[in-house]
Chain A
């Protein structure tokens, strides 16, 4: 039972991380390799805020806004010039690697490369029991918040005017512009949401482990590839489904595989899905659309 709870928790973080990743991919067809750096930035923004005495809940909000703004700046610096030139997606990947290097180093200049900890007593540490299950408040709140954010993002994309604009942009940027959609504003919104979600995921994961460090995003980056591909590249429900599939699969694999092979599960799964059904479980788009 404990393992299932754990799988739900880690799956929620995978999902939040992958949602931001997949949002940018679905709207702009680029892999933003600076996303893990924004994840890390989120954890450290929350740390900084809480060191100033801001309560944890508000610190998450601060992380959302700060990372969102950082995401918009990232777009202006690394992606917008390439977009104007119609550069291939590969160029965007490389320039986002550049920004990611800079961002991680800036965090290290302030906090060093080692594990940090949030101020003592700033995070709930109590445990409660439901039907014989020991649950801790912190992770339960994190799971609830993550699921809430997934629902909010789905609602935003499906039901609001901005969501309609984003979907039009994903379909065909030229046509979207012709229809009078403010494309630049929609792209900025995409980056704000994507980076904000990445930052929140980072802050929440930082809380749960209480040991944020400058390279914490790396492992999530590779897992997020697996999540996105398994669920279907660019599909929001797919990313959520893929995230929980992966986390439950990983936990289950621990029972019949040695623990060193845990990561092999994710990448083995990723490889098999790519070969057998490259569009993923919920993906509809043709594979060779790059």
Chain B
């Protein structure tokens, strides 16, 4: 028992980040499940991280309320953004959301109240591990329920064939926007939690690299189910910590895992016991990812 305790204490930060990254992976899962490639979640995370951190730091707002404000602001910004960018598809959509993310980063860099390049330090460390995992549990449950609801079926229909979905009377644009906003709310929640777990935040944490990382978590784990993104985030967060002695070769291994998973397990790690279904899906020509 003591050993377990010691292990827990030593890896507390890693364990916390596994949970946070899993929440982030779920935030991009919602849009991926709808077949839309968006890369704005790092920016939503950043918006909420700064909002909630400024609220607790400068205005002594209670922690839960600050989290909620951050998440809601990210959600509110995602509505007009989504309404604008969802006229685009595929790579164009990804680049547009990426551009939004860079604009957010530059604006944070240029605003005095955010501490610019130095970022914010001394954020009250209000996040406990159980906050992270309780949030993850609730969010994963909501996503899983959404997936099997009529909303989830509409999302899947849009992913498989947008025109066919529209002709079935599914309001495609509205469902895509809903997925985008839900993703932004989740990413915002994770951003607030992460800011109060880490004491300090910097604008560069929410740039292109983070956006890609979140996407990679979800894709490596697999988008067909809710467990995939959680698994992907857990594995890819724990791996660097476990490979501390091999630090120099860590990126090489991580890169190799990405390539191998995409080439040999196109529907993600979580489908490893489901290979026959994957093969069948391929035969009927279904989309690989998601």
Contact = CB atoms under 8 A, between A and B. Distances in A.
Contacts of A221: 208
Given A98-B256, A267-B99, A271-B103, A288 B90 contact: yes
B91 A95 contact: no
Given A218-B208, A271-B96, A102 B255 contact: yes
Interface string B243-273: 0000011111011111100110010000000
B107 interface: yes
B145 interface: no
Interface string A64-95: 00000000000001100110011111110011
B88 interface: yes
B102 interface: yes
Contact of B289 (A90, A222, A226, A263): A90
B98 to A, nearest CB: 7
A90 B254 CA distance: 18
A274 interface: yes
Interface in B69-123: 84-85, 87-92, 95-96, 98-100, 102-103, 106-107, 109-110, 116
A260 interface: yes
B41 to A, nearest CB: 15
Contacts of A77: 259
B258 A81 contact: no
Contacts of A261: 106, 110
A98 B263 CA distance: 11
Nearest to A225: B95
Interface string A251-290: 0000000101101101110110011001000000001101
A97 B285 CA distance: 25
Contacts of B220: 94
A109 interface: yes
A200 interface: no
Interface string A11-42: 00000000000000100000101000000000
B92 A101 contact: no
Interface residues of B, number: 47
B146 interface: no
Contacts of A105: 248-252, 255
User: For the complex, would chain A's binding face be called helix, strand, loop or mixed by DSSP majority?
Assistant: helix
Given A218-B208, A288-B90, A102 B251 contact: yes
Contact of A91 (B87, B95, B107, B262): B262
B174 interface: no
B61 interface: no
Nearest to A289: B90
B219 interface: yes
Contacts of A63: none
B90 A264 contact: no
15 contacts: A81-B263, A82-B263, A91-B266, A100-B255, A102-B251, A102-B252, A105-B250, A105-B251, A109-B248, A233-B92, A260-B110, A261-B106, A270-B99, A271-B100, A278-B92
Given A218-B209, A264-B106, 5 more contacts: A33-B212, A87-B288, A98-B258, A260-B116, A278-B92
Interface of B: 37, 84-85, 87-92, 95-96, 98-100, 102-103, 106-107, 109-110, 116, 208-209, 212, 215-216, 219-220, 248-252, 254-259, 262-263, 266, 282, 285, 287-289
Interface of A: 25, 31, 33, 77-78, 81-82, 85-91, 94-95, 97-102, 104-106, 109, 218, 221-222, 225-226, 229, 233, 258, 260-261, 263-264, 266-268, 270-271, 274-275, 278, 287-288, 290
